[in-house]
Amino acid sequence: MNITFWQRHPLAVIVLAQLCGTSLWFSVNGVGLSLSRDLGFSEVDLGRLTLAVQAGFICGTLFIATTGLADRFRASRIFALSCLAGALVNAGFVLAAQHMPLAMLLRFCTGLCLAGIYPLGMKLVIGWTPRHTGAALAWLVGMLTLGTALPHLLRGSTLGMPWEWPLLGASLLALLGGAAIHRLGDGPQLPPPSGKARLTDGLAALGEGRFRAVAGGYFGHCWELYAFWMLTPFLVYREIERLAASTDLVAWLSFGVIALGLAGCVGGGLVSRHLGSLWVSRWALAASGTICLAYPLLAWAPPGLLLVLLFLWGLTVIADSPQFSALAAATAPRERIGSTLAVMNAVGFALTIPAIALTTTLWALQDVWVLWWLLPGPILGLWALRRASAQELVYHPCLVRSHYQKQDRHPPDRL
């Protein structure tokens, strides 16, 4: 495979590398049932390990944003080094799992490494495919979703084997992803790395009303998303028990629920080219919020019906994410896109911590009613997007196109 092929299909390379790199994110959750059985981990323990990853990711993105690291060095190099470090740290968890403080530290470091994978992957997409950012980011976030689900698939395919195997498999995938991006390099549409960075560079976009409105919708989306992904094996296990079916199905069904978000992202990206990213964001957030509201009310419905509802939730809960990123990229300073997206990620993922802490702590007491703790996310997110309706630049693609033409630039995407 020569370099010409890689440059002819950069989006495919980037999204597959993102899939491999982000398999580290929920690698421990994929073997959660095995850890509970073999090492005595509780739901709270698994929640703490997930929170450690989120905290590491937040610290990493804040460091990238406030130092301007994402805009000072080549994005492909940061991505590749982050994959290498993440693979090593994730593999180290195999040796430290029985020592909770060390295990949490390693998961925190995994989050730090992911901060060099996810935001930098978005920057690489913008650099290689600037004219259809919404559709391209849909594939990228879709692969993040599939990467999140991948540990459940790895576990399902290694049932009967030690739980260490899926973790080591995720590390191997991360190495492959980093190698692919290192060979691809940065896209031609990004400015060259700058040698200077100021603290305010990554925060500059927060002073723009249009960016704040979009970011508010994204923050509400984050409150719901990762807590739902954390709870997915618990929700699936509940219905499998009610069906008196084999618990071996939990890993496969959990993978299916989360992985279906890939279809939601790609489908939303296609729709965004006709109806706009804002339209997709609003309706996806409304759909997932409605399911969040209805699920506990249907707690005693047939298990099969609730599993179908879970699949619908998995389809809609992530469909708005790439469109929020596309809208944010449209209003971010071009020379600081990496830092701006890192700031938005950092704040959004900070909101996942209380959501995950609440739901995992209260699960044993409230069962499915704990899902209503996620409702503030969709509600406040939709309220923020309603405020965005007053911003003509967000709503009208022709104005966006005109705005960029005056600057002799291509619009990031049809909004």
Q: Pick the closest to residue 1 from 215, 237, 180 (CA basis).
A: 180
Most confident range (mean pLDDT) of 1-10, 156-165, 392-401 is 156-165
Q: Pick the closest to residue 69 from 194, 189, 205 (CA basis).
A: 194
Higher pLDDT, 199 or 85: 85
In this predicted structure, the answer to whether residue 357 has a pLDDT above a threshold of 80 is yes
The pLDDT of residue 285:
95
Q: Pick the closest to residue 356 from 104, 40, 49 (CA basis).
A: 49
The pLDDT of residue 273:
81
Q: In 40-160, which residue ranges form alpha helices assigned H by DSSP?
A: 43-67, 69-72, 75-96, 100-114, 118-128, 133-157
The pLDDT of residue 287:
96
pLDDT band, very low/low/confident/very high, at 310 (cuts 50, 70, 90): very high
Is residue 376 within 8 Å of residue 92, measured between CB atoms? no
Higher pLDDT, 66 or 378: 378
Is residue 18 within 8 Å of residue 118, measured between CB atoms? yes
What does the pLDDT look like over 102-138, one tens digit per residue? 999 999 999 999 989 988 887 788 777 766 666 677 7
Weakest-pLDDT range from 148-152, 278-282, 399-403: 399-403
CA distance 44 to 58: 21
What does the pLDDT look like over 279-300, one tens digit per residue? 999 999 999 999 999 999 999 8
Q: What are the strands, taking DSSP E only, across 303-353?
A: none
**Tokens 């630039």, located at residue:** 409
What does the pLDDT look like over 243-272, one tens digit per residue? 988 888 888 999 999 999 989 988 988 888
Query: In this structure, what is the dihedral angle of CA atoms 225, 152, 180, 84, given to the nearest 10 degrees?
Result: 90
What are the backbone angles phi and psi of residue 197, rounded to the nearest 5°? -155, 140
The pLDDT of residue 70:
66
**Within 13 Å of residue 149, how many CA atoms lie on the same side as its CB?**
23
CA distance 288 to 321: 12
The pLDDT of residue 31:
83
In this predicted structure, the answer to whether residue 325 has a pLDDT above a threshold of 90 is no
User: Which two structure tokens, joined as six digits, stand for 28?
Assistant: 């421990």
The pLDDT of residue 253:
92
Higher pLDDT, 187 or 201: 187
CA distance 144 to 321: 11
Q: What is the mean pLDDT of the chain?
A: 82
Round to the nearest angstrom and report the end-to-end CA distance of the chain: 36
Q: What is the mean pLDDT of residues 338-363?
A: 83
Is residue 23 within 8 Å of residue 174, measured between CB atoms? yes
72: which residues sit within 8 A by CB, 6+ positions away?
193, 194, 195, 196, 197
CB atoms within 10 A of CB 321: 28
Weakest-pLDDT range from 12-21, 34-43, 385-394: 385-394
CA distance 195 to 253: 48
